[in-house]
Structure 1
Amino acid sequence: MSKPAKKAAVKVNTKGKSILIVEDDLKIRQLIKVYLEREGYEVWEAEDGKQAIELYDRYEPCFTIIDLMLPQVSGEEVCQWIRTVKKSDSPIIMVTAKVDETDRINGLKMGADDYVTKPFSPKELVARVEAVLRRTANRCHKISYRGITIKPYKGEVNYAGKELSLTNNECKLLHMLMKNPNQVLSRDQMIAELYPNDEKEITWRTIDVHVRNLREKLRKVDAPDCIQTVRGMGYQFDAF
């Protein structure tokens, strides 16, 4: 009897997924960052619990990796703050040297989605992140690059905690660009997306005006100049 074919592993779409690493050991933190960035994640780093709360409040990452043993504010307190104060259900992995079963259970009860004990393989941690993301795909309705975060279903955009007041079409245009990072989109593609049922003739000039206004609003909050003009072709969002 022939063996059943193995199912291909489901690859997680990491485009625009942001992760906050909270770890006081610089070498471990930077090693985790390198492996995550290789997989396409945007990564922020915090060296203690106080900084973790500040960064989370500012950027609202899609995912958080928290070491339990932290200076100033403990990992448990950071986790509880995310769940109770921010009322966020964004996925969390706790990392610790504690191996006691009670510690693992307590971590999960606090709201963690997974629990990893030290020492660990960075590759295994990335695999754990992807496994959690597969289970919680509906809990990150946002895209983030270079500090710019968009929640398309809410029509909200912010940079480093500063909210941008965008029109509906500006928000749609930015979402279109950010969900296709580093890809050139033509003006015709943008017209088809923004005005699918409009009987009036929409010209390229309309798109240029939207882009100009969007750039001005991003500049007002000191956001990086991410929307690039590709001469003769269209526009692209520079994610790196």
Structure 2
Amino acid sequence: MSQRPDHILIVDDDPEIRAMVGEYLTRQGLKASGAADGREMRRVLASERIDLVVLDLMLPGEDGLSLCRELRAPGRPALPVLVLSARSDEADRILGLELGADDYLTKPFAARELLARVNSVLRRTRMMPPILAAEAPQPHLRFGNWTLDTVGRHLVDAAGTVVSLSGAEYRLLRVLLQQPQRILSREQLLQLTQGRDADVFDRSIDLLVSRVRQRLGDGPRDARYIKTVRNEGYVFCMAVEGMPSTASRDEAPS
């Protein structure tokens, strides 16, 4: 039985972009559907199994940031989101990532680059970091005032409020919880969460740590959960309940 092709939903009010991207992705072995606005996006999501949403920020009516926030609302299934924008402002990129987007691409873009980003996001979403793959899944990990639900892939605070996480945020927090009290370098975190090496200008882990700290209500100076170790990396400094034994954690690569 052949494997079902990944189904990509392109949400963009420009019919030429929807057609161009859809045709290109289809030629590359993917399935593509289009939506011109939030209403059409919801209709497709309700009737089709979608694997990733390519979401334009500049939409009529509800903009892409509002729709991204909706897709990341508590209780919704985790769905990768690749944001498109004609604006290259750093603030827009950070805002999109903070709202839970898994990647960000500015217009105009090459179809081949979009395909590479789509495949990368899908691969990262499905990739279990090597350090986590060998352990039995633990449904709930507790630390401080928080519980990480590893089935729903979200946080729950002491009052029972659900806090959504993007795929990247979830993977980073899982890696940190798996090795509490242990300093992990930026290179290690990037390799364990995204399966790639860092270059000298890569600050994506710092941005990701900042986003997770915001979810936890943590600050960089008076951090309760994730502390920065100067010139070394980051360390999760809170005890974690629900993880495998300390002995199995000590076998992790340094």
TM-score with structure 2 setting the length? 0.47
Larger radius of gyration: 1
TM-score with structure 1 setting the length? 0.50
